[in-house]
Amino acid sequence: MKPKIYTDTSVIGGCLDIEFKEGSQALFERFKSNSAILMISSLTLLELEKAPQDVQNVLKQVPIENMEYIELSIEAKQLADKYLSEGVVSKKS
């Protein structure tokens, strides 16, 4: 069974960042070669719409059949709101 790996915008953008490039690109090679499944959320896709085109292009290199999409649930939204209200993270996080 192939591992399913959740990936967010920081990992996708990491493919173009000198500090994180090696690890991020290695992970994306696994997605492209079908040795792992990229799990991506609707929230990450929304964030990518605002990203530079070269960052968006990283995701486009992964075959659609090697991806699974996760919808943002009500529970996840409530948890995020709780984290914000309790000061666990800030809106910038």
**93 within domain boundaries:** no
pTM of the model: 0.79
Q: Which residue spans within 12-91 are E strands per DSSP?
A: 37-41, 67-70
User: What pLDDT, on the 0 to 100 scale, is given for residue 87?
Assistant: 86
User: What pLDDT, on the 0 to 100 scale, is given for residue 79?
Assistant: 87
**28 within domain boundaries:** yes
Helices (H) and strands (E) in the chain, counts: 5, 3
Domain that holds residue 17: 4-86
**92 within domain boundaries:** no
Q: Which residue bears the tokens 């290199």?
A: 61
**42 within domain boundaries:** yes
Give the total number of structural domains in the chain.
1
> Going edge to edge, which strands form the sheet with 4-6?
4-6, 37-41, 67-70
**11 within domain boundaries:** yes
User: What pLDDT, on the 0 to 100 scale, is given for residue 93?
Assistant: 54
**55 within domain boundaries:** yes
**91 within domain boundaries:** no
The whole-number mean pLDDT for each consecutive block of 10 residues of the chain, a chain of 93 residues, reads 94 96 97 97 91 95 95 86 86 65
User: What pLDDT, on the 0 to 100 scale, is given for residue 73?
Assistant: 86
The C-alpha angle 67, 71, 75, rounded to 5 degrees, equals 140
Give the span between the Cα atoms of 88 and 62, in whole angstroms. Answer: 33
Of 31, 90, 92, 17, which is closest to residue 66 (Cα–Cα)? 31
**46 within domain boundaries:** yes
